[in-house]
Structure 1
Amino acid sequence: MRTAVVLFTRDLRVHDHPALAAACAVAEHVVPLFVLDPALLGRSANRDRFLHQALADLRAGLRERGADLVVRRGDTVAETIAVARAAGADGIAVSHDVSRFATRRQERLRAEADRHRMSLRLFPGVTVLPPGEVSPGGGGGHYRVFSPYFRAWESAALRDEAAPPQRIAPLPDAGALGVALPEPPKGESPDAAEGGETEGRRRLTAWLRHIDAYDDQHDAMADDDTSRLSAYLRFGCLSPLAVVNAARRQGGPGAAAFVRQLCWRDFYYQVTAGFPDISRKPMRPSGDRDWRYDAHALEAWQSGRTGVPIVDAGMRQLMAEGWMHNRARLITAALLTKHLRCDWRDGQAWFFRWLIDGDVANNSGNWQWVAGTGNDTRPHRRFNPIRQAQRYDPEGDYVRRYVPELAGIPGPAVHQPWRLDGFERLDYPPPLESHGDEAVWLRP
């Protein structure tokens, strides 16, 4: 093959990038491409900022290997075909993805590639195990319950990691095919993480030194003993396979618990592949209910002014950092859906606006789990937010960190409902009983 275009989407890295490695192995010239598609931009200022930072870092990594990143604006399919034709490319390589948007993009891209007599190859890399690699009874379909999926996933053979190319043979004058990469836009969260493979790999190395404590400490909200790698996995700045392999090499209960969380990520990708309406329709129609729309309650929840301290702390962390502790995601989502009885899709939309790691599979799948419309085998479970706070933030340090109005209240007393000056108190239907304490947001 003379020239190949590698279309980057949610795989913004050079390490363990099967599509890039394959193109470099068979083509004389490789054109790395990213398309800034208006259909995807503008949904979250936080994700747009992280994306632009990741693209700048990807460009630097490609330049170190002799190539450059061609950046275009417009419809991804149209711009990819235009670049491929201008470059005289024989083929296009892209990582396979499962959202409805990504699936349609892949279908359109294949049709256009066929029309222009180019090859299109889809490669793994967005998940550890490709969706559909294991199926119930081996007969197709997707797993609807996590435990059997985890058993099959754990015993499945994984592909070898793809070595990063030492040298990428660029197409002469490829720079003329693209536009300048704009400066990162300003995100809404002042304390958001910085994007890019370089930062992601640095954080992974640092995290592995503390992974032993993960099994015991990952729910300790004030200590925050989690990896905070979820945004880097969402944008593919880190290979999920490489992260699993690194954790397994480390070994121990902490690593095993962490790998299980990464399996949850794969689980929701295979669910989304089988149920592409995951963001809009309940997976368990019988679990859906007559949700109420209460603008006052929704706004109080969004702004972190519900009067339930642990919930308000979580929602304020979300706005400050573009990220929220896994346990806080569970508690805040449960309050909105099970106690305020508001539609899970309203909560999902708010998370999509702020979360850097927000993606269709995991954000939607976990919202449905909490709401009782998804893959939970006990859809009617409830969580008592006060009891959760007392268990996972026993001294109240997490609450005081994010709700400064309560900074002067000592110890666990901070978890009692607080009076909101100038704000009508919300009413919560009884009973506020906990019937299980499983973490489901599964953000490693």
Structure 2
Amino acid sequence: MIGREEVRVETVVVLFNRDLRIHDHPALCEASAVARHVVPMFVFDSAIAARHRRDFLHASLHDLRSSLRSLGGDLVVRHGDPVAHAVRAAAAAGASAIWASEDVSPLARRRERRLADECRAHRLEFRLFPGVTVVPPGALRPGGGSHYRVFSPYWRAWSGTARRPVLGAPHRMRLPPGIDPGVLPEASPEPYGVVRGGESEARRRLLRWVGDGLAAYAETRDRMAGRTSMLSAYLHFGCVSPLEVVDRSCRRPDGEEYVRQLCWRDFHYQVVNAFPEMGRRDYRPGDVEWRRDEEAEAAWREGLTGVPIVDAGMRQLLAEGWMHNRVRLVTGSYLTKRLGIDWRAGLEHFAEWLLDGDMPNNCGNWQWVAGTGNDTRPYRKLNPLRQAKKFDPEGEYVRRYVPELASLPGDLVHEPWRARGGVPGYPASPLGGELKA
């Protein structure tokens, strides 16, 4: 990193997207080191509907602005087309460069190509930096292939790869004179979901998790009612660096299993990097004939299938914008393997409601459970009753989200259709036929 006394450029625009933090932000750190002035910028993209993630995003941006102001800078906020506003800001500030963090979604890549073209047309330097993943998506390739198709060999290669050092926050920066920062929408005092956005909260959760939660993760990670790190939404918005999460977890002797899950995130990114149509087309085309059943699909979305563990998960999603990973697999397998409904219907619903609705992970997980993706056992079917009895043995998770079943004894909470006289207000039988553990 170059010291500030070695200033090379006058002004750099740093365009934020899914990297809403100041710690371990390579583009921001480099700009603050080599430029006299920095224009940190976020554009509310008119092509993206924030939906239920709006509250989290607004809180994250307020926190980012506060952090930048503490360094002597500010967050410049605009609404509309990010490419047009970034180029316009560069002209207004007399900037010679626009820098950003590299992403892999089709939308992000189209934006990056447009930005590169506009920068060439306006004689601006355009650079992309790492920071959205631990290992850059195209950095690891098997012999003779564009990407890893199976997780285990990727995990081995990923684990042995030298990683860049974790960067601290910049010490200080200055906004060019005459730049109007713009107005941020107010952050809701009662945000949607169970977590509030922002780097400050993300870092508190990370330190708390590494300090007193990580030790039990390997043993308890599949318990549906158990404690998790709750960092996924912060990773999605870039409020915390995935590299820093891995780095801190690796320092603990009991951190490997958690780090392995973070490696899955990078794995899905490198798949989407090589196969951008992951959200529309089967990764492994087969002979599956999906059926259309709008009534069954609606019951699944609303948590009214009559299968308690599935209904609990779907209701948690609507109420909190989050769902335990094991429950995501169970609900996804139920929709695709038992009801026979196209995985794209589930993908769209999760993308709308999840606070951590990360495109590569969402697509990768849905194709995995559907048997069209990177699962080496494509015909795998998760039995929801067996999963519930194994990972929610006391019914704690189900009772939390399906109040109709709260008074049922433990031996019936996962099979309420066996209760004499049924359960008022709850489906009398499971959608898709009777289940057997």
Deviation at 1:411, TM superposition (A): 1.5
CA distance in 2, matches of 1:426, 1:249: 46
Counterpart selection for 1:247 from 236, 249, 272? 249
Partner residue, 1:201: 203
Partner residue, 1:441: none
The number of residues matched between the two structures is 423
| 1:23-38 pair list within 5 angstroms | 23-38=31-46
Matched, 1:238 2:240: yes
Counterpart selection for 1:144 from 129, 149, 160? 149
Partner residue, 2:280: 280
Deviation at 1:410, TM superposition (A): 1.7
| 1:407-418 pair list within 5 angstroms | 407-418=406-417
Counterpart selection for 2:432 from 421, 424, 428? 428
SS in 2 for 1:399: helix
Partner residue, 1:120: 126
Partner residue, 1:155: 160
Deviation at 1:200, TM superposition (A): 0.4
Amino acid of the residue matched to residue 283 of structure 1? Y
CA distance in 1, matches of 2:192, 2:136: 35
- Aligned partners of 2:305 and 2:431 also within 8 Å: no
Q: What TM-score, normalized to structure 1?
A: 0.92
- Aligned partners of 2:99 and 2:126 also within 8 Å: yes
Amino acid of the residue matched to residue 27 of structure 2? A
Deviation at 1:220, TM superposition (A): 1.0
Matched, 1:181 2:184: yes
- Name the CA shift for 1:140/1:87 in 2 (closer, same or farther; >3 Å): farther
Partner residue, 2:64: 58
Deviation at 1:431, TM superposition (A): 8.0
CA distance in 2, matches of 1:277, 1:19: 28
Deviation at 1:413, TM superposition (A): 1.9
- Aligned partners of 2:394 and 2:410 also within 8 Å: yes
CA distance in 2, matches of 1:339, 1:412: 23
- Aligned partners of 1:58 and 1:196 also within 8 Å: yes
Deviation at 1:359, TM superposition (A): 1.4
Deviation at 1:383, TM superposition (A): 1.3
CA distance in 2, matches of 1:402, 1:429: 22
CA distance in 2, matches of 1:383, 1:120: 47
Partner residue, 1:111: 117
Deviation per residue, 1:286-322 (Å, 9 max, x gap): 1x51111111101111111100001111111111110
- Aligned partners of 2:15 and 2:99 also within 8 Å: yes
Partner residue, 1:436: none
- Name the CA shift for 1:417/1:284 in 2 (closer, same or farther; >3 Å): farther
CA distance in 1, matches of 2:428, 2:290: 21
Gaps of 5+ in 2: 1-8
- Name the CA shift for 1:186/1:282 in 2 (closer, same or farther; >3 Å): farther
Deviation at 1:121, TM superposition (A): 0.7
Deviation at 1:169, TM superposition (A): 2.1
Deviation per residue, 1:333-368 (Å, 9 max, x gap): 111000010111111111111100001100011000
Partner residue, 1:439: none
Deviation at 1:173, TM superposition (A): 2.3
Deviation at 1:171, TM superposition (A): 1.0
Deviation per residue, 1:19-41 (Å, 9 max, x gap): 00011111110000000001112
SS in 1 for 2:413: helix
- Aligned partners of 1:382 and 1:432 also within 8 Å: no
CA distance in 2, matches of 1:357, 1:214: 20
- Aligned partners of 2:307 and 2:430 also within 8 Å: no
CA distance in 2, matches of 1:57, 1:166: 17
Partner residue, 1:269: 269
CA distance in 2, matches of 1:432, 1:109: 55
CA distance in 1, matches of 2:435, 2:388: 17
Partner residue, 1:229: 231
CA distance in 2, matches of 1:427, 1:325: 22
- Name the CA shift for 1:261/1:422 in 2 (closer, same or farther; >3 Å): closer
* Cα RMSD for the two superposed structures: 1.7
- Aligned partners of 1:48 and 1:185 also within 8 Å: no
Deviation at 1:108, TM superposition (A): 0.5
- Aligned partners of 1:71 and 1:180 also within 8 Å: yes
CA distance in 2, matches of 1:79, 1:4: 14
CA distance in 1, matches of 2:107, 2:10: 30
Counterpart selection for 1:93 from 88, 96, 99? 99
Identical residues among aligned pairs (%): 56
CA distance in 1, matches of 2:354, 2:178: 38
CA distance in 2, matches of 1:250, 1:369: 30
- Aligned partners of 1:132 and 1:140 also within 8 Å: no
CA distance in 1, matches of 2:293, 2:123: 54
Partner residue, 2:6: none
Deviation at 1:432, TM superposition (A): 6.0
Deviation at 1:184, TM superposition (A): 3.2
Amino acid of the residue matched to residue 432 of structure 2? Y
- Aligned partners of 1:6 and 1:92 also within 8 Å: yes
CA distance in 2, matches of 1:67, 1:88: 17
Amino acid of the residue matched to residue 146 of structure 1? F
Partner residue, 1:192: 194
Deviation at 1:377, TM superposition (A): 0.7
SS in 1 for 2:277: coil
Partner residue, 1:129: 135
Partner residue, 1:438: none
- Name the CA shift for 1:106/1:397 in 2 (closer, same or farther; >3 Å): same
- Aligned partners of 2:307 and 2:431 also within 8 Å: no
| 1:10-89 pair list within 5 angstroms | 10-42=18-50, 44-45=51-52, 47-89=53-95
CA distance in 1, matches of 2:394, 2:229: 22
CA distance in 1, matches of 2:117, 2:94: 18
CA distance in 1, matches of 2:184, 2:121: 30
